[in-house]
């Protein structure tokens, strides 16, 4: 292996740890969502950025919220379950049905996110990547294939025009 490939190779993914975390995600999701096995899963996160421009300029005070995101193509439904990075527990699920939301789209700025507006009062931005290094903030899981499938589902079946 040359120096170039050593320098620019991505982080090594521990597939055993990733699979164990994916299994924990599934168990938590199934625990709080009826017919949980009918959903495909990815890990996502959402950011609570108070006064974004101020935070952006003066050092962000971002709060990260970890999410287990499930989607079902047949019912055109996304279910979001808040969790913690060690997957030791989760909160209550929130269901978003395509037919019941105000709008949904993929935002590229300020960060790549899947944005859902259930109504005029609030929204959720779901960020998702194949793998994130900081395990104190994010769940360690490799999800390249699942993320591609979720992106396709979101853009073709869930996003509003």
Residue 63 has pLDDT above 60, yes or no: yes
* pLDDT single digits (tens) 18-30: 999 999 999 999 9
Q: What is the pLDDT of residue 54?
A: 38
Lowest mean pLDDT, pick from 48-57, 70-79, 99-108, 125-134? 48-57
Residue 53 has pLDDT above 70, yes or no: no
Residues of the chain above pLDDT 90, percent: 64
User: What is the fold of 14-158?
Assistant: PH-domain like (2.30.29)
Residue 149 has pLDDT above 70, yes or no: yes
- Given a contact cutoff of 8 angstroms between Cβ atoms, the answer to whether 71 and 85 are in contact is no
Average pLDDT over residues 135-145: 90
Residue 55 has pLDDT above 70, yes or no: no
Residue 76 has pLDDT above 80, yes or no: yes
Q: What are phi and psi of 36, to 5 degrees?
A: -55, -30
Residue 1 has pLDDT above 90, yes or no: no
Lowest mean pLDDT, pick from 30-34, 50-54, 125-129? 50-54
Question: Which of the pair, 151 or 132, is modelled with greater confidence?
Answer: 151
Average pLDDT over residues 136-142: 90
Three-class DSSP labels, the chain: CCHHHHHHCCCCCCHHHHHHHHHHHHHHHHHHCCCHHHCEEEEEEEEECCCHHHHHHHCCCCEEEEEEEEEECCCCEEEEEEECCCCCCECCCEEEEHHHCCEEEEECCCCCEEEEECCCCCCEEEECCCCCCCCCCCCCCCCHHHHHHHHHHHHHHHCCC
């Amino acid at each position: 292996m040359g120096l170039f490939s050593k320098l620019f190779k991505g982080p090594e993914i521990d597939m055993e740890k990733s699979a164990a975390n994916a299994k924990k995600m599934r168990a938590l999701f199934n625990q709080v969502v009826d017919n949980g096995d009918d959903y495909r899963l990815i890990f996502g996160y959402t950011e609570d950025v108070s006064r974004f421009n101020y935070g952006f300029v003066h050092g962000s005070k971002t709060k990260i919220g970890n999410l287990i995101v499930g989607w079902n193509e047949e019912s055109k439904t996304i279910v979001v379950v808040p969790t913690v990075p060690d997957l030791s527990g989760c909160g209550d699920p929130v269901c978003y049905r395509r037919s019941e939301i105000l709008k949904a789209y993929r935002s590229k700025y300020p960060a790549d996110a899947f944005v859902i507006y259930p109504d005029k009062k609030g929204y959720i931005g779901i960020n998702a990547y194949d793998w994130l290094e900081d395990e104190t903030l994010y769940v360690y899981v490799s999800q390249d294939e699942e993320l591609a499938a979720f992106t396709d589902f979101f853009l073709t079946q869930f996003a509003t025009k």
